[in-house]
Structures are given as structure tokens and as C-alpha cells.
Structure 1
Amino acid sequence: MKKRSLYIKKISSQAEKILWITLFWTIISTLQFFSSYSTLIQLDLDISGLSPTAFLYGSLITGLTAGLIGGSSIVFFWSKWLRTKSYAWSLLSILCSYSLVYFVVALTTTMYFKATQLNIAFNHPDTWEAVWNSNSVLTVVQNYLFWLLIVIISLIGLLVNDKYGPGVFKSFILGKYFQPKREERIFMFLDIRGSTTIAEQLGEGKYFNFLKDVIRDVTPKILDSKGEIYQYVGDEIVISWKQNTGIENANCLQCFFDIKKTLLERAGYYRERYKGLTPEFKAGLHYGFVMVGEIGIVKREIAYSGDVLNTAARIQSKCNEMGVDILVSKFLLNKMGELPKQFASKAMGEIKLRGKQHALALYTV
């Protein structure tokens, strides 16, 4: 049931991206029609033989078809290539597949135009002949380059969204954090166990690839839990949730165990590539108020400030001492209320925090 729920969330997220791309491309295609039509009117050309309605419908079909096909290609293939392959290889692959998609869409749209103009069936031989005789090389090249630019803009939008994390880029655009705000947030500090020893055994280059593989494998689980990747600090990942998002279905806890399961399933891969070594994480979670806002001039980002981050890092550092993989503050557990059945908390004692009068009770799950 849980797997099905996560699968539905993933598909819904991908479908939402495709629908936004389709809407964007349909608007562009419609604007392209109005621009071309107004140019014909301004030049006082004879357009009595043309049907504006048919061309408008054709533009809508172009946007919808291109958006659904191209949007699916961007979401399921092209954006993944850019994330996991070299840019040269990715761009060449995108260019080839885009060309194929473009000519399929262009052929379909032109056939619709000609069939409507001639008032004949879509697959009639005269339709094919009219399509063949009407294609202007210059027009085809212009449209090809125009839609290539639209594809590139769409890809850049997705890459920038990936750069800042889901939801964060939208906050940037809307200026949500231009002025600092106080928010309730959950933070998890994830750290690879024995990272210093692993780095010494693998060497700098091999260890860097090890980290890349680990981050590649755990990122989907972070996104599935609706977490936001705040920072990569060496071999540490700092993840944040808004209060309601992190508490919902115990997302902040489920994230850790989904990551743990993924790394266990991938253990064979790591042992084969990295001298029998496998990654394991330890985690510390805490909850509280932070100040959040945009910071920086050249390299602007959304930053968090507050005791919550320092405390979460301190909690994570106690995992080795207490012999557990995950530690959660009692404050966070109280905020979460009754946990789902798959989680059972166990008291692990208290830690004294510098500058604080009262010790903080810790639990493992």
C-alpha cells in the first residue's frame, strides 16, 4: 500500500510538470498564430482562401501535441540525461530526439491544415500530396529553430528548479523570502557513517564518485517524502520540511528509512565498485522556529538561521555514542503526535546543550 502511495505521488508530480509544459507550449503556439495572422493583415495580403479558425485550431493542436509528447520526453528522459550524463552527450541525444518529435508533430499539424482546407479525409492521398508540395524549407527551418529555443527554455526551467529544489525556485520568482520570515521547520542532518575511513580506503577521486552515487540514489527518496535539500556539506546532507509537510504521514521519519532500504538494495553495486564498502547513514532530527530569507548578491540562495540547525547537528553527532542510526528530539516527537504503526520510539536519554538551561530528551525510532 505504501509503495503504491509513493508511486502515485511520483506519477502525479511528473504529470503536473507535463501539464505545465503543455500549457506553456500551447500558449506559445497560439501567440505564434496571432503574430503570423496579424502580420498577414498588416501587409494587406489576400487571405481570402485561408480559414483563420482552422489555423487557430491547428495551432492549438500543435501546442497540445508538442506539449504532451515533448513534455513527456523532457520529464521522463531529457532532464534525467542532463542530470546523469555529460552535457555533450545529453545535448546531442536531446537534439536527435527533439528533431524526431518535431517532424512528427509538424507532419501531423500540416496534414490537419491541408485536410481542412481541401475538405477531404485526413489520410486521403491528396492530403499527402498537398503536404509534400506546400512545405517550404525556410518555414520548416524557422519553426524548427523556434521550437528548439522553446525546448531549451523549458529544460533550463526544470534544471533551475532542480538546482534550488522543488518549491524553492517558485519562492524565488515570487519573492516570498526577499524579506526574512519566521517559519516552523523540521530539519534532518544525514551523515555517512565512517566517512573518514571510507575516504582513506578509496582515495580522493574514488570517494568523490562514491558520494555522487550515494546522493543520486537517496535524492528520489528525499523528494518522495516532500523534503527540501538545503545543503550538501561534505558527506552530509541537510534536509528540511515545512511543519505540516514533515509531520504528514511521518514523512520526515519515513524519509530516513526509505533511504536506508534503498542503500541496502544497492549494496551489491557499492561492494562491487568500491572495494566491498557500502554506505550507511546516521541521522539527527529536530523541530523549531527559524528565520528564512534570501542571502547573497552574486550567488543568491535561500538560507535558514536558528538554533534548530545547530541542535539537529548536535543530535546527529550523538548517534555513534548512543549506538543508533537515528535520533529524534522529544520536542519533534511531541509535535508529531501519534506515530504510524511501523514506527516505535524508544527513549535514549538526554543531552545538555550549550547555552540552554534544560537538557534535551532524545529518542530513537
Structure 2
Amino acid sequence: MNVFRSNKLRSQLKKVLYITIAWTIISLIQYFNVYSIFVELDVWPEMINARAAFAGSILKGILAGLLGGSALVFLWDSWLQTKNYALGVLYIILTFTAIFVFVSVAIGLFYTSRLHGLAIYEPELWSLVFQDLTGLSTLKHYLFWLFVVDATHLVMLVNDKYGPGMFRDFMMGKYFRPKREERIFMFLDLRSSTTIAERLGEERYFNFIKDVFKDATPGIVYTKGEIYQYVGDEIVISWKTDEGIRNASCIRCFYEIQRILRQKAPYYEATYGVSPEFKAGLHYGHVMAGEIGVIKRDIAFSGDVLNTTARIQSKCNELGVNILLSKPLLDQLALPPNTFIPQKIGNILLRGKRQEVTLFTV
């Protein structure tokens, strides 16, 4: 559990770091924009301490990135998901305003004290900072950074939509032309979904699935899995082969999800009267990967490995197990001793296949 918590925290801190770097660059762009204007007007030496302004821009970007980035990653995104939307937006604006005022005052004290040679305890310094804080230029900066926050949050949402790593690949045009890749796939299907849906009704079942998928996500993300598709009550997960076989991550993913759902069982029993449980099929092989669509462009995989993985998963009920994987995949895995013990199920003829596939459970 501690491993997954530390991985989650590491991922969140990495996001804060990226935001801090990006916002520091934006702050420096603002500085150079103002610098170029003053240089063209030939008024810089008389009006501005260039070195202090440059240092202040860096400090502003770092402070804004650390505080605003932390708020975005740890608070604001969660508020929008868990609170009334209007209330969540109000909380975000209020905390953003507080952070903006704090950063503006800190930078104002830093820069103005150097420009006028004033100590931090002198009333004149605070008067100058307050005068600058209530000026029209501060309002302009407030609106600009509010836009930066909105744009950053939009990028985070799009990244979540495509999944970690996939958004970067999409932006870099990695799959603009189809390419052949070797990947591991896991088809993760909710047990007794039809019975649960009939018992809960449409609205409660939708909320149930939403909760289950949310709770399953950490186990996927922190074993380096990529969520390829949600298909009804099924999650299709993919790994680049080297990522999936490292530390048997593709197997660990399934058991981590099961562990989380067992831990959350009291919540599900109290809220829905049922505890969710998954069954899974795993296989690996080559697929073609590329962008498809015009209006709703996406990255898609195609190949026999997906069909075979789906057929393997469909055998879980018949064979009375929660997880099945093919022998070719098992041969690639270096299973940790005394952790995952493979048990041969047998040579099984899958629907639509001419040759039998040797299946194992762990």
C-alpha cells in the first residue's frame, strides 16, 4: 500500500514541478516583453532595476507555481469533482485570489525594497507595495494569471482524458502515421454486472460504475498502465511490454485493484448494497497503433491480440477463476517468488479461434 501511496505522491509532485517550470517560463516571458518595450522607449535605466526585476520574475514564477500548482493538483481538481460545480468554482476563485495577493505582496516587497533601498519594516515600503497592489496593472496581471490557471487546468483535464503519456504522444504526433507496437492488454470486466444493474436501476448503477472506475484508477496508473477504453462495465488497459512485465506490473495491477475494492467494500455495501469484484484476461502481442477519426480524433489499437484477450477474459466464469493469462505472456514475466504462483488451467479452445491457447491463473 505504501508503494502505491508513494507513487501517487510522486506523480502529483511531478505535476507540481512541471507547472512550476511552465509558470516560471511564462513569468520570464512577461518580463522580457516589458523589458523590450522599455528598451525601445529608452527609459529602462531611469525607471527600472533590471536585475531586481529579472530575479523578481523568476521568484514570482516559482512561488506561483509551487502554491498554485499544489492547489491545482491537490485541491481544485478534487473540488470540482466532489462539490457542487458553482461552489467548487467559487472556492477556486477565492483560493486563487489569496495566492495571487500573497505572491504579489511577496514580490512587491522583494522588488520595491531593492529599487528604493527600503527595509521591510519601514512603513513607506508597505505603502508603495499597497499602492502598486491596488493599481490597474495588478488587475491586468490578476486576469492574465487567472487565464493561465484555467489553461493549465484544461491541459490537465485533456491529459486525464487521454491518460498519462498518451497525451504527450498525441501532441508530439507519435501516432499520426500508424505504427506497429508490442503491447500487453488486460480486459477487466465487472462480475455480475447485469444482476447489479437490474437491482440498482439506471441512475444508481451509473453512479456505482463511476465510483468503481474511480477507485480502480490508482492501481492502473501506478503500475504504469494506460486506460485504452471504457466499454460499458469493462476497462481495457494496455502496457508497453517492457513496462508491463517489469515487476509483473500487469499482474500487480489486477490484485491492487481487487485490494482497493475490498478495502472500500463497507462503502459500497452501505451505498449500493453490493461489493464490486473484477475478473480479468491478459495477453500480449503486436498491434497497429495510430490516430483515427476527424471530429473526435483518438488513438486506437487494432490487432488479433485484442480479440484474443477478450476471449480469454470471457473464460473466467466458465473456469471459475478471477484472472487468466496466456502462456506467451507468462513466459515473458519474471514473477516474484512466493508472490504470484502460476497454476496451469489447460489448453483451451477460444471462441472464433482454430488453435488452442494454454491458459494460466495466478
TM-score by length of 2: 0.96
Secondary structure of 1:349 counterpart: strand
1:88 aligned partner: 86
C-alpha contact (below 8 Å) 1:292/1:302 kept by paired residues = yes
Secondary structure of 1:122 counterpart: coil
Following superposition, the deviation at residue 220 of structure 1 comes to 1.2
Once residues 294 and 38 of structure 1 are traced to their aligned partners in structure 2, the CA distance between those partners, rounded to angstroms, is: 42
C-alpha contact (below 8 Å) 1:330/1:361 kept by paired residues = yes
C-alpha contact (below 8 Å) 2:312/2:350 kept by paired residues = no
1:307 aligned partner: 304
Once residues 19 and 175 of structure 2 are traced to their aligned partners in structure 1, the CA distance between those partners, rounded to angstroms, is: 26
Q: How many residues align?
A: 362
Question: Aligned runs of 1:5-44 on 2, under 5 Å?
Answer: 5-44=3-42
C-alpha contact (below 8 Å) 1:79/1:158 kept by paired residues = no
Secondary structure of 2:235 counterpart: strand
The aligned amino acid for 1:218 is A
- Which runs of 5 or more structure 2 residues have no equivalent in the other structure? none
Once residues 355 and 46 of structure 1 are traced to their aligned partners in structure 2, the CA distance between those partners, rounded to angstroms, is: 76
Following superposition, the deviation at residue 6 of structure 1 comes to 2.5
Following superposition, the deviation at residue 72 of structure 1 comes to 0.8
1:332–1:121 distance in 2 versus 1, CA, 3 Å = same
Given candidates 200, 220, 242, the residue that maps to 2:218 is: 220
C-alpha contact (below 8 Å) 1:193/1:280 kept by paired residues = yes
Question: Aligned runs of 1:52-131 on 2, under 5 Å?
Answer: 52-131=50-129
Secondary structure of 1:48 counterpart: helix
Given candidates 270, 278, 287, the residue that maps to 2:268 is: 270
1:146 aligned partner: 144
Once residues 329 and 44 of structure 2 are traced to their aligned partners in structure 1, the CA distance between those partners, rounded to angstroms, is: 72
Deviates more, 1:243-252 or 1:120-129: 120-129
1:322 aligned partner: 319
Secondary structure of 1:348 counterpart: strand
The aligned amino acid for 1:39 is I
1:325–1:183 distance in 2 versus 1, CA, 3 Å = same
Q: 1:266-306 CA distances to partner (integer Å, 9 max, x unpaired)?
A: 111111111x2111111111111111110000001100101
Deviates more, 1:11-20 or 1:326-335: 11-20
Deviates more, 1:122-131 or 1:60-69: 122-131
Once residues 23 and 76 of structure 2 are traced to their aligned partners in structure 1, the CA distance between those partners, rounded to angstroms, is: 17
Once residues 206 and 288 of structure 1 are traced to their aligned partners in structure 2, the CA distance between those partners, rounded to angstroms, is: 38
Following superposition, the deviation at residue 354 of structure 1 comes to 5.2
Secondary structure of 1:22 counterpart: helix
C-alpha contact (below 8 Å) 1:250/1:340 kept by paired residues = no
Once residues 285 and 44 of structure 2 are traced to their aligned partners in structure 1, the CA distance between those partners, rounded to angstroms, is: 69
C-alpha contact (below 8 Å) 2:325/2:361 kept by paired residues = yes
Once residues 106 and 135 of structure 1 are traced to their aligned partners in structure 2, the CA distance between those partners, rounded to angstroms, is: 7
Query: Is residue 282 of structure 1 aligned with residue 301 of structure 2?
Result: no
Q: 1:171-195 CA distances to partner (integer Å, 9 max, x unpaired)?
A: 0110001111111111111111110
The aligned amino acid for 1:325 is N
C-alpha contact (below 8 Å) 2:190/2:234 kept by paired residues = yes
Following superposition, the deviation at residue 350 of structure 1 comes to 2.1
Following superposition, the deviation at residue 19 of structure 1 comes to 1.1
Once residues 173 and 164 of structure 2 are traced to their aligned partners in structure 1, the CA distance between those partners, rounded to angstroms, is: 15
Q: 1:222-266 CA distances to partner (integer Å, 9 max, x unpaired)?
A: 111110011111001100011011111111011111111111111
C-alpha contact (below 8 Å) 2:132/2:138 kept by paired residues = no
Q: 1:58-89 CA distances to partner (integer Å, 9 max, x unpaired)?
A: 11110011011111111111122334445433
Secondary structure of 2:328 counterpart: helix
The aligned amino acid for 1:312 is T
Once residues 347 and 280 of structure 1 are traced to their aligned partners in structure 2, the CA distance between those partners, rounded to angstroms, is: 23
Once residues 304 and 74 of structure 2 are traced to their aligned partners in structure 1, the CA distance between those partners, rounded to angstroms, is: 40
Once residues 139 and 340 of structure 1 are traced to their aligned partners in structure 2, the CA distance between those partners, rounded to angstroms, is: 64
Secondary structure of 2:120 counterpart: coil
Query: Is residue 295 of structure 1 aligned with residue 288 of structure 2?
Result: no
TM-score by length of 1: 0.95
RMSD of equivalent CA atoms? 1.6
Given candidates 195, 198, 201, the residue that maps to 1:200 is: 198
Query: Is residue 350 of structure 1 aligned with residue 358 of structure 2?
Result: no
C-alpha contact (below 8 Å) 2:21/2:65 kept by paired residues = yes
